[in-house]
């Protein structure tokens, strides 16, 4: 009997911890959703810019923190300055020119990043592999966080403005966030409840194939519900688009989540930070969006416009 009681107590403690984390996660997610909905429906461009830039820079900061805590080197101050300049410059450029001239802008950004990181290294001593690794980790952070997350800004300006001069693409960003977070929610709920078969244990011991199926199913559901509720705002999409995008965004969200797991596994951290109770860091919040944002941008640009 004592053994059974101890087992029951352990099961109860695990259930309480799971419920406590779920409640903290729910509170953080609710707060973020309220902010996002206010920004999107207000249609106030500077507010959207401030939200994207704040999240992007916070995620970039956490990335550099992870690199430094693992004992690796990077140009954190230089990287943060480049990230801030890119978010500000990207917002001003796409607000003024739309997406038509984005190739020239992106080429310029890559050249500036490369020149800048080499110039920064010139003021440090050179010792075997250290300079190459430092430059590589810095550039990777800029591309992984700043460049990929900036696609949310590009989506806003991929469609012509409304008659009143306000942009219309912010509703596609809202659609993206809904579907991506539905995917994350499906993976978490299904995986934590019935997950038995590990997906990639060498990367993430908690990811299961059941959670993967749940991720795709919830993403498709979120896509269809979004089109049903926001049919007027998402006029470029039809039900076939919604079905296909739900599947593709679900797949990209899983890749994005596993991509950050590779980083966390490599740097030896459990969460990228602690800014969001129940979720972890900001990078834990936006990791899936880093991959789903570019996917939706090119889908809209090539197939749905």
**Domain residue limits, the chain:** 21-304
Amino acid 11: pLDDT: 46
Residue 25: the pLDDT is 67
Q: How far apart are CA 229 and CA 237, in angstroms?
A: 13
The whole-number pLDDT of residue 128 equals 59
Determine how many CB atoms are found less than 10 A away from the CB of residue 31: 12
Alpha-carbon distance of 245 to 234, in angstroms, equals 13
Query: Residue 138: what pLDDT?
Result: 94
- Name which of 137, 113, 121 is nearest 64 in CA terms: 137
Residue 163 CA to residue 169 CA, distance in Å, equals 14
Splitting the chain (305 residues) into consecutive groups of 10 residues, what average pLDDT does each group show?
50 59 70 79 84 93 92 91 92 81 79 88 70 90 94 90 81 94 89 84 84 94 95 92 96 93 86 71 90 95 79
Q: What stretch of H or E contains 199?
A: none
Sign of the alpha-carbon torsion through 100, 39, 145, 235: negative
| Rounded distance between C-alpha atoms, residue 178 and residue 286, angstroms | 12
Q: What is the pTM of this model?
A: 0.87
Structure tokens, 138: 């810095």
Give me the pLDDT at residue 97, please: 80
Q: Residue 193: count other Cβ atoms within 10 Å of its Cβ.
A: 11
Give the three-class secondary structure for 280: strand
> Which pLDDT score, from 0 to 100, does residue 43 have?
73
């Amino acid at each position: 009997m004592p053994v059974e009681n101890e087992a029951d107590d352990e099961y109860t403690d695990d259930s309480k911890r799971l419920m406590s984390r779920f409640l903290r996660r729910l509170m953080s997610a609710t707060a973020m959703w309220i902010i996002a909905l206010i920004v999107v429906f207000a249609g106030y461009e500077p507010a959207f810019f401030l939200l994207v830039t704040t999240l992007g820079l916070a995620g970039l900061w956490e990335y550099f923190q992870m690199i430094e805590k693992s004992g690796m080197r990077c140009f954190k101050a230089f990287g943060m300055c480049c990230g801030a300049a890119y978010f500000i410059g990207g917002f001003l450029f796409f607000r003024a020119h739309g997406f038509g001239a984005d190739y020239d802008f992106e080429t310029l950004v890559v050249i500036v990043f490369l020149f800048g990181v080499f110039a920064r290294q010139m003021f440090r001593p050179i010792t075997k592999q250290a300079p190459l690794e430092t430059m590589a980790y810095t550039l990777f952070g800029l591309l992984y966080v700043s460049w990929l997350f900036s696609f949310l800004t590009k989506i806003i300006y991929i469609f012509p403005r409304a008659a009143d001069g306000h942009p219309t693409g912010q509703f596609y960003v809202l659609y993206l966030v809904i579907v991506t977070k539905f995917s994350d929610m499906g993976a978490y709920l299904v995986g934590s409840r019935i997950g038995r078969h590990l997906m990639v244990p060498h990367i993430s011991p908690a990811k299961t194939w059941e959670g993967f199926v749940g991720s795709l199913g919830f993403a498709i559901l979120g896509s269809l519900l979004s089109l049903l509720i926001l049919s007027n705002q998402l006029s470029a999409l039809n039900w076939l688009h919604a079905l296909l995008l739900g599947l593709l965004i679900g797949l990209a969200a899983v890749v994005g989540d596993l991509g950050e797991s590779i980083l966390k596994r490599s740097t030896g951290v459990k969460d990228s930070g602690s800014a969001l109770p129940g979720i972890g860091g900001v990078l834990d919040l936006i990791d899936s969006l880093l991959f789903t944002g570019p996917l939706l941008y090119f889908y809209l640009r090539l197939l749905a416009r």
